[in-house]
Amino acid sequence: MTQPSYYVSKYAGEFCKLVVEGDFSKVKSKFKEFVLDYQTPEDLNTPLHLSIIAQQNRNEIIQFLVESGADCDLRNSMNLTASELAINLNFIDVTKFMLAVEFRNLTDYRCFYRLIRRGSVPLLQLFLELKSFDIHQQIGYVSSVWHELYVKNVPLTKSMENFLEYQLLNYSYAYHHPPAHRPDRPKFDKELEQRIELIVEYTRYLTKHYGATDNLNDYDDKFLLAIKIVYDNLFFVREKRELVASVPVDEICRLLAVFLAIFKKAPHYEVYKLILNKRTVLQFLSAVSDELERIKCDMVENRQSRWSNELLLYLICCIRDAAPAKSTKAINALWRKKCVLKKKLIYYVKARLKANPELNAIQARYVNNLSKSELEVLRHELRAKEFVELTRTTGRRNRVTFCRLRKTYDHVMQLYSIKKILRYLDGIARIQLPQYQVSGVLAIKRTLQVIAETVANTRYSPAISRKLDSVVHKILPLNLDVDVRDFYQPNVSLYKMCSDKLENGRLLPFAEVQCSLKSVRRYFAYVHDLKMLEAYKCYLGNVHQLKNHRQVASYNQYVGDANRMYFENHTLDDVYFELEDCIRVVEELQETFSQQQDEKLCDLLRCVYGPLAQRFESLTKGDEGGERAALASISANFNTVMQLCGTEIEMPKVRRIVGSFLAESYPKYDICNDEQLLLLNPLLQELLHLFTNYLYQYQMDERVTKNFVTMVEVLHVGRYMAVDHFMPERTKPFDSLLHQNYTNDILKKFNLQNLSSIEFAVLHEQLSQSYYDNCYNLDKKYAVLTMFFKSTNRQVNDAILKRNKRMDREEFQSFLDAKLKFIGQFLPCSDFNEVTQFINEAAPHVEYALEHCLLELCEILTDLGVFQDNQYVLKLQSANVSGKNLHDYLRQDALECDMLTLTHSTKVKVFLNGLIFKSNEFKLYQPPSSQKANPDELLSINENLINNYKMRWSWVEQQERLFKSVETIDLKLLQALTPDYADIRGMRLGVLYDGTPSTEYEIIDHTIRNNLKQMVDYLSEELQAISFEKKQFFQYVLVRSSNSLFIDAHFSL
């Protein structure tokens, strides 16, 4: 292939010219005279880049350069490596040859490592086509390499991350649907003990190395990895809830997830720094690990003495039976000592079991033969106050810590839940339903789901709980003959299934809901501001408890400027419900009607304007007592406390200053209790009457009409947060005409139209209770019908029964196929290459609509057993969210699984799962599969559990040694550490300069720390004062950096 002649003249470097000309003999003889990785000043191409367009001897030159040590990962000005440039130019044969030469002496693992780090999806796909790996082997390489790059903090391109996640999801849907064999008890106990050992070990490491220091900002990669290891194991320890019931494992898991998100999902989680910090997290972890270690010791002791919990409970029952007066003291002594029970006690228990007629069915270690009454006796025994007191073995110090932990958990989760609801409400606020009818309606349904689930699952104080329940009820339109929750609940009820077929009328109720949600958003913004006030108070309390100036300074560095900027820039629109906008609207209306010389309307508007202006002025500029407004006061106080880190002020004075801020009270403004605004209701009624007359008499300007509607909406107090305690409960009208017609249709299919009214009512009630809530579950439907036919002595032809079953299955299968195709209406992507760009460009309401569809499909497939329990997938290296895990992920909360997997983005998980659902077929009503999960994967969970975490720790230590090596400016040492161990492109977490918060920085930034002037001279091309070794070193590190904090700042200046 002949290349254009201008390529030869473009590159002035003699060696580059030889490469482009393709003179292989001269290239081979003169390459030692030049720098092999030289980059041209114009476009940063290396000789390896230019060899792609060599006029002759292309393959020989490429092979020679690679074998001579050319760096294949250097990028040109287009951010392309040599192989990426070749595939972008569509030189497929050249790309294949380059990969073959580069990976000739490398293992498959290192090949995957280099390609995934390089970030080019087409390059990786080409490599997979060339090698034809077994799918299990391929996924093993992908998950292992991704884990290593994640731990070493090597940044990947978004397209590569999405591709890897897509590969893991495809594999999971193909091989992780079948349930795993539940491990036998010894293996399960061994895994549980190993996980508790890891929790205790890494908690002790954190306490020893980070708990005793005064620096509250000394976060680094080891700290974060240790927290991640503890979190991973706590996530699975809580599966054994009966063993860890006394320990708040759920609460500490959620707090650790939020704490990890501060570092991994910033900046959206910066606000939680006001509540969570290293000191409090380590205190909570120490208490939890102490109790878990005690539980583990009890497990080992019980196993060694061959005592089960059941037999111990039977012994307690027998003691209580034999000597009621002395039972409490005896049981207490037995429980407290935790002694190994002797043979005499075992014989005593067995004798009492035989002698007592009420307990004669009880056998040692088994409860299978117990009747319901006997089980009830044991349950009653366990619920007794004395027994509950005896089971409390947590020490007083840990009980106090657990109490603080639960309070912190409540505070964090209240704030987290409100922010989550606000995110959904903001996402649907600007949907134009006529234009985005399909995705808009589904997004509104998903938002209602989130509000309802959050209200049900979050522990709020009673007052807030009542208000939230009231909001959920108020946003549901009342002019429908069915519970509106049927529109958005994930299970497919009869009304929902029938209404989905009808397009007419679907838009109207959701247009009303969207309108109501605008005022609901203001309510939740009000609650959010109250929670932010509590977070501010929590921050002050944390500062007040610190012991010395170093702790105060480092804690303020950790909190950072993001929270200070929030309090400085927060507007009053959310807090005071658009009073400023309402004042502007009233002024415009006054001006309009004064021009029309309507004195009555002008007088009424002046009466409205006065209280509004007075209320707004008192809220923003200060009240009658001369005190500062709440937000201005908070912002000033926050800045004062933040500035304490820059002074050497004595700690008693710091505590007095912070204590005075804590003692300040802030008005919790509630529009429902605003007497000045409540007095406006009669005026609004009169204005509404006069304005209606004007509409009939005159042709009103559209802007005037809009202003009047805005004023009425803003001042309509009941639309915000008033709690209506007398609101009637909504009930599902199963006796509605729709449900009755469906019951009649069922009877017609069985030729049973002659039922009496009583028999029809009985059958209809049974179907309503068992079937109409989830119409895809045909087993429940036919179970009800079979029982009804037997109870009424009616014979049904088996042929008719089989025919109806077959027709129902075909009908519902077609419904499911239609739902799968329906995803394509707002996910117009046919393959992975299209979905990555779509993820970046998609509006929020598209994501919410897709979440609703996926949750509905998962509800159907999980209920029918197509998706079975696959939580064990989260324990694997290839952990991902698919199948039943996706159902739980969407139904509960995404954060915990986000921090467990390698992809922390909820949006990516949702869209990639949507693409898989759209591309695949799921068959309902199939016989259960005999296929089981891959046993090798399950076996590796237990056998390699501890070794896997040790390997991750070694990766972090490799990176640590690499970063320390650059302090000596030794290029040979740096090159010796990098080939197959540490990664020069990895980033570290830590404090780069004293007085700054922890951040992620590259090796070039670490190099600059002690060589700032030399690097500035090097970048400014003032090279006289720099030694040759440093020039080489700077060049080597600089060209292998992509996200340098210093370099980016330098060139921006």
389-428 pLDDT, tens digit per residue, is 555 567 788 889 999 999 999 999 989 999 999 999 999 8
pTM of model > 0.85 = no
Q: Is the pLDDT of residue 591 over 50?
A: yes
Contacts of 725 (CB under 8 A, 6+ apart): 466
Decide which of 629 and 793 is more confident: 793
Q: Is the pLDDT of residue 348 over 60?
A: no
Task: Report d(CA 617, CA 578) in Å as an integer.
Answer: 13
Q: What is the pLDDT of residue 9?
A: 38
* Cβ proximity of 536 and 466 under 8 Å: no
Q: What's the whole-number average pLDDT of the chain?
A: 79
Contacts of 1003 (CB under 8 A, 6+ apart): 962, 963, 966, 984, 986, 1037, 1040, 1041
Q: Within 10 Å of residue 44's Cβ, how many Cβ atoms?
A: 16
Q: What would the pLDDT profile of 786-825 be if each residue is shown by its tens digit?
A: 888 888 888 877 888 889 999 999 999 999 999 999 898 8
pLDDT tier at 584, thresholds 50, 70, 90: confident
- 573-587, 853-867, 1018-1032: lowest mean pLDDT where? 573-587
User: What is the mean pLDDT of the segment spanning 481-499?
Assistant: 69
Decide which of 954 and 978 is more confident: 954
pLDDT tier at 473, thresholds 50, 70, 90: low
> CA 428, 434, 437 angle in degrees (round to 5)?
60
Question: Backbone phi, then psi, for 1020, in 5-degree steps?
Answer: -90, 5
Q: Which DSSP category does 968 fall into?
A: G
Q: Within 10 Å of residue 614's Cβ, how many Cβ atoms?
A: 11
Residue type for 668, please? K
Question: Backbone phi, then psi, for 664, in 5-degree steps?
Answer: -70, 145
Strand partners, 1000: 989
Q: What is the pLDDT of residue 33?
A: 72
* Cβ proximity of 849 and 448 under 8 Å: no
Q: Is the pLDDT of residue 597 over 80?
A: no
Measure CA 568 to chain center. Answer: 28
Q: What is the pLDDT of residue 957?
A: 92
Decide which of 599 and 194 is more confident: 194
Q: What is the DSSP string of 93-141?
A: HHHHHHHHHHTTTS-HHHHHHHHHHHT-HHHHHHHHHHH---HHHHHHH
Decide which of 677 and 821 is more confident: 821
Q: Is the pLDDT of residue 894 over 70?
A: yes
Decide which of 280 and 513 is more confident: 280
Which of 639, 654, 634, 635 has the alpha carbon at shortest distance from 542?
A: 654
Q: What is the pLDDT of residue 504?
A: 41
Which of 777, 771, 778, 796 has the alpha carbon at shortest distance from 786?
A: 796
Structure tokens at 436: 């985005």
pLDDT tier at 96, thresholds 50, 70, 90: very high
Q: What is the pLDDT of residue 126?
A: 94
Checking 1011-1020 for CB contacts under 8 A at 24+ apart, the result is 1011/969, 1015/1046, 1016/1050, 1019/1047, 1019/1050
Decide which of 966 and 617 is more confident: 966
Instruction: State the sign of the Cα–Cα–Cα–Cα dihedral 927, 931, 937, 943.
Output: positive
Cβ-in-10-Å burial (0-12, 13-18, 19+) of 1039 comes to middle
Q: What is the pLDDT of residue 1049?
A: 52
Which of 965, 953, 994 has the alpha carbon at shortest distance from 222?
A: 953
User: What is the mean pLDDT of the segment spanning 340-353?
Assistant: 53
Task: Report d(CA 540, CA 633) in Å as an integer.
Answer: 14
Task: Report d(CA 552, CA 224) in Å as an integer.
Answer: 22
Q: Is the pLDDT of residue 477 over 60?
A: no
Decide which of 754 and 767 is more confident: 767
Q: Is the pLDDT of residue 885 over 80?
A: yes
Strand partners, 988: 1001
Structure tokens at 690: 């006069």
User: What is the mean pLDDT of the segment spanning 218-242?
Assistant: 92
Residue 989, helix vs strand vs coil: strand
- 315-324, 629-638, 897-906: lowest mean pLDDT where? 315-324
Residue 363, helix vs strand vs coil: strand
Q: What would the pLDDT profile of 834-873 be if each residue is shown by its tens digit?
A: 888 889 889 999 999 999 999 999 999 998 888 888 888 8
Q: What would the pLDDT profile of 1030-1049 be if each residue is shown by its tens digit?
A: 888 888 888 888 777 776 55
Task: Report d(CA 560, CA 996) in Å as an integer.
Answer: 8
Task: Report d(CA 512, CA 255) in Å as an integer.
Answer: 37
Q: Within 10 Å of residue 97's Cβ, how many Cβ atoms?
A: 18
Q: What is the pLDDT of residue 200?
A: 96
Q: What would the pLDDT profile of 705-747 be if each residue is shown by its tens digit?
A: 767 766 766 665 444 433 343 344 545 555 567 788 888 888 8
Structure tokens at 528: 């959010």
Q: What would the pLDDT profile of 22-81 be if each residue is shown by its tens digit?
A: 888 888 887 777 777 888 888 888 899 999 988 888 999 999 999 988 889 999 889 899
pLDDT tier at 831, thresholds 50, 70, 90: confident
**HSE-up of 171 (CA within 13 Å, CB side)?**
25
Token look-up 């830590």 returns 990
Task: Report d(CA 511, CA 508) in Å as an integer.
Answer: 5
Decide which of 125 and 603 is more confident: 125
Task: Report d(CA 252, CA 257) in Å as an integer.
Answer: 8
Q: What would the pLDDT profile of 737-758 be if each residue is shown by its tens digit?
A: 778 888 888 888 888 877 888 8
Q: What is the pLDDT of residue 735?
A: 54
Q: What is the pLDDT of residue 210?
A: 93
Task: Report d(CA 88, CA 82) in Å as an integer.
Answer: 10
Structure tokens at 645: 């880190």
Q: What is the 3-state secondary structure (H, E, C) of 612-648?
A: HHHHHHHHHHCCCCCCCCHHHHHHHHHHHHHHHHHCC
pLDDT tier at 331, thresholds 50, 70, 90: low
Which of 58, 153, 163 has the alpha carbon at shortest distance from 115?
A: 163
Structure tokens at 343: 């043979």
Q: What is the pLDDT of residue 725?
A: 36
